[in-house]
Structure 1
Amino acid sequence: MTSPRLPRRLLLSLVSVLALASLSTGLAQGAPAAPAAPVRAAAPAAPAPSTGPAAPAVSAAAVTFSDDFDGPAGAAVDGTKWQTETGDNVSNHERQYYTAGNRNAALDGQGHLVITARRENPGNYQCWYGRCEYTSARLNTAGRFTTTYGRVEARMKVPRGQGMWPAFWMLGNDIGQVGWPASGEIDVMENVGFEPSTVHGTLHGPGYSGSGGIGAGYTLPGGQAFADAFHTFAVDWSPEAITWSVDGVVYQRRTPADLGGRQWVFNKPFFLIVNLAVGGYWPGDPEGSTVFPQQLLVDYVRVTTNTGQPSGGPITGVGGKCVDVAGANTANGTPVQLYDCNGTAAQRWTVGADGTIRALGKCLDVASGGTADGTPVQLWDCNGTPAQQWAVPAARDIVNPQANKCLDATGGSSANGTRLQIWTCTGAANQKWTVTR
């Protein structure tokens, strides 16, 4: 996005111990440099087995989150799905105070959530600039729901007027541990009032945050305004691509190749956020032409798995054992081993068109990018390096082209817990694999 948007910042008052998970979009004024590629340590020699069945793969088009906002007029949102943030937003110079309860976020009795921005201050709220001039609402699903991949969509009717800034977006669930922008941010839809016909979709991450985010805008034809009608805003999110659409019309697709070597931080859980801001660096402040109250109407929010991505299947090797992520652990450096086939997520692997082999949202990786015989393989954040590239020829080898070596069960063993490694290709049984696509 080329607009002079700065990061949305920490609210002065947050809700519950999940506060760090529900930080606003920015925690630092400038974007840090992209981190150097990690140095991978060798994984433990005696990996633990998987620890029992995980949930089966979700079938195509399964709904994993849905809120149609059905309920009586004036009712608050479902607290099992949403938490309400409170406070102002100093670092982005927004003018509103986000309130709790149902005064600024309530159902209308007709199947909509209505977020209302008002020029008022009934609670004598204090903002960064003094006594607050406006109230509004901001909701998130932190602690209630996260998703990794899928179709994330909302049908909404945005407000109109200078200074209005509605948004539907996502933050990495690890924001409390790694901060922003390392957590990543996916903006499904943002609109600023001075562009009534245009919405924006943007990615933010380390080295490409704030006004340096990677994104594009979509403009309605014929001078139509988004405030005139409901529109459906969506992203289709898979391990190596995120695609934005409005009313089913795709207007941009982003992959790691768009980041110029910077880190792709979108292979992990994210939570959802919907809010209506008033003022700020990007939209500018309301002016005399801005009419209050203004409303953001949300018909539904839904997350499904209909990305067209395979849910994965087993890779079996010597002794009929399955390639397995030890302990079903998603930590970087987790050993990859042989183990009795049990149908868990730790044994469901997806062979991607990009050359990766993935499970649990991460990639099969040659430790430290090594090429020597005996270099172990492990689970690691997908990063596009040659250490995570694999060829799967008809001969049933699984080859790392950088090393020109085969995936190999150490010592030819088929015992549970046998560590996998790369080794010079010999055609032996411990290098032959059956991949379920």
Structure 2
Amino acid sequence: MKRILFLMMLLSSFCFSQNSKLKLVWEENFNGDKLDEKVWNFELGNGCPNNCGWGNNESQIYTNKNHFLKDGNLVIQIKKENDIYTSTRITTANKKEFKYGRIEARAKIPTGKGIWPAFWMLGSNIKTVGWPKCGEIDILEYVGREPQMVYTSLHTENSHGNTINSKKTKIPNIENGFHLYAIDWNKDKIDFFVDNVLVYTFQPNDKTEDVYPFNQPFYFIVNVAVGGNFGGLEIDDSIFPQEYLIDYIKVYQ
């Protein structure tokens, strides 16, 4: 086991040495007193009528009130009030979209059964070709029903449903404090990292659009869902309120 960890650290160090030539091209540090709506869009409601439950039978309603900026962090609050779960979901669609590079987010996740925070990306052509043909990159997903586990996944035309391009990694301290979630993304592969340790690589030989739709711009999504097919139908109401903190998002190219 020690040898495996050592080899992983060496591989991570090699990857980061390759990144030394990259330059910071965009960062969001959440240092203001409110979200910059020149960068961020709010997605509101429960997804109805076209995508009720946001496609996953989720229980929350998204608002533009369940967040604030404090001490350089975006804070998303997840609440239950009068039998209604509320949260926030924001995107950079049509405002900040990127093709390739190293992408990082430093975040502190909420915890508890039924909670489902995420930091992810969708292809900018989603309105033209639909999902999953547009592609989806899940840099961070955590579900409270599985403590100490982090999911890093990809959805494509030929791999949605059972999500065959996915890795679940056990990280014992993941619920404690802030952690760094990142990808290195190019025309051939996507490497996923947690705290600078490589946890998953997607590098298919077949680069057709249905297998690797990742040769186009993608935009960011930050949200916390409650319940649902992946988050779990059992929700522990005693955990609310919860908070999801994002310190920063950075893009290097």
Q: TM-score, normalised by structure 1?
A: 0.50
Partner of 1:296: 244
259 and 163 in structure 1: CA distance in 2 versus 1, 3 angstrom threshold: farther
119 and 261 in structure 1: CA distance in 2 versus 1, 3 angstrom threshold: closer
8 A contact 1:205–1:213 mirrored in 2? no
Across the two proteins, how many residue pairs are aligned to each other? 228
Secondary structure of the structure 2 residue equivalent to 1:142: coil
- Runs in 1 of length 4+ with deviation above 4 angstroms? 258-262
8 A contact 1:158–1:227 mirrored in 2? yes
Partner of 1:62: 23
Partner of 2:130: 179
8 A contact 1:161–1:289 mirrored in 2? no
Secondary structure of the structure 2 residue equivalent to 1:115: strand
Per-residue CA deviations over 1:47-92 (Å, capped at 9, x if unaligned) read xxxxxxxxxxxx9422222111112xxx331111111110114231
Counterpart-to-counterpart distance in 2, 1:200 and 1:288: 21
Task: Please report how far the alpha carbon of residue 282 of structure 1 lies from its aligned counterpart in structure 2 after TM superposition.
Answer: 1.2
Counterpart-to-counterpart distance in 2, 1:79 and 1:142: 11
8 A contact 2:135–2:214 mirrored in 1? yes
Select which of 68, 74, 82 maps to 1:113: 74
Per-residue CA deviations over 1:350-406 (Å, capped at 9, x if unaligned) read xxxxxxxxxxxxxxxxxxxxxxxxxxxxxxxxxxxxxxxxxxxxxxxxxxxxxxxxx
Relative contact order, CA 8 A, sep 6+: which one is greater?
A: 2
Counterpart-to-counterpart distance in 2, 1:290 and 1:227: 17
Q: Does 2:200 match 1:239?
A: no
8 A contact 1:164–1:286 mirrored in 2? no
Select which of 85, 96, 101 maps to 2:43: 85
183 and 162 in structure 1: CA distance in 2 versus 1, 3 angstrom threshold: same
User: Following superposition of structure 1 onto structure 2, how do residues 326-337 of structure 1 map, counting pairs within 5 Å?
Assistant: none
Task: Please report how far the alpha carbon of residue 298 of structure 1 lies from its aligned counterpart in structure 2 after TM superposition.
Answer: 0.4
98 and 213 in structure 1: CA distance in 2 versus 1, 3 angstrom threshold: farther
Counterpart-to-counterpart distance in 2, 1:173 and 1:260: 17
Partner of 1:95: 59
**Runs (5+) with no aligned partner, structure 1:** 1-58, 122-131, 306-437
Per-residue CA deviations over 1:158-183 (Å, capped at 9, x if unaligned) read 00100000000000000000000110
64 and 290 in structure 1: CA distance in 2 versus 1, 3 angstrom threshold: farther
8 A contact 1:201–1:217 mirrored in 2? yes
Task: Please report how far the alpha carbon of residue 228 of structure 1 lies from its aligned counterpart in structure 2 after TM superposition.
Answer: 1.3
Normalized per residue, the structure richer in strand is 2
User: Following superposition of structure 1 onto structure 2, how do residues 32-47 of structure 1 map, counting pairs within 5 Å?
Assistant: none
Counterpart-to-counterpart distance in 2, 1:77 and 1:210: 34
What is the letter of the counterpart of residue 201 of structure 1? T
Task: Please report how far the alpha carbon of residue 257 of structure 1 lies from its aligned counterpart in structure 2 after TM superposition.
Answer: 2.9
Partner of 1:188: 139
User: Following superposition of structure 1 onto structure 2, how do residues 124-143 of structure 1 map, counting pairs within 5 Å?
Assistant: 133-143=84-94
286 and 118 in structure 1: CA distance in 2 versus 1, 3 angstrom threshold: farther
Secondary structure of the structure 2 residue equivalent to 1:168: strand
Q: Does 2:214 match 1:263?
A: no
Counterpart-to-counterpart distance in 2, 1:288 and 1:80: 36
8 A contact 1:149–1:237 mirrored in 2? yes
Partner of 2:66: 104
Q: TM-score, normalised by structure 2?
A: 0.85
Secondary structure of the structure 1 residue equivalent to 2:245: strand
Q: Does 2:238 match 1:287?
A: no
Q: Select between 226-235 and 161-170 the one with higher mean Cα deviation.
A: 226-235
Per-residue CA deviations over 1:127-157 (Å, capped at 9, x if unaligned) read xxxxx61100001000111000001110000
Among all aligned residue pairs of Structure 1 and Structure 2, give the percentage whose two residues are the same amino acid: 40
Per-residue CA deviations over 1:282-308 (Å, capped at 9, x if unaligned) read 121453464111110001011111xxx
Q: Select between 296-305 and 83-92 the one with higher mean Cα deviation.
A: 83-92
8 A contact 2:114–2:236 mirrored in 1? no
Normalized per residue, the structure richer in helix is 2
Partner of 2:101: 150
Secondary structure of the structure 1 residue equivalent to 2:205: helix
Counterpart-to-counterpart distance in 1, 2:235 and 2:59: 12
8 A contact 2:75–2:245 mirrored in 1? yes
Task: Please report how far the alpha carbon of residue 262 of structure 1 lies from its aligned counterpart in structure 2 after TM superposition.
Answer: 5.0
Task: Please report how far the alpha carbon of residue 202 of structure 1 lies from its aligned counterpart in structure 2 after TM superposition.
Answer: 0.6
The alignment's C-alpha RMSD in Å is 2.0
111 and 268 in structure 1: CA distance in 2 versus 1, 3 angstrom threshold: same
User: Following superposition of structure 1 onto structure 2, how do residues 256-405 of structure 1 map, counting pairs within 5 Å?
Assistant: 256-257=204-205, 263-288=211-236, 290-305=238-253
Secondary structure of the structure 2 residue equivalent to 1:155: strand
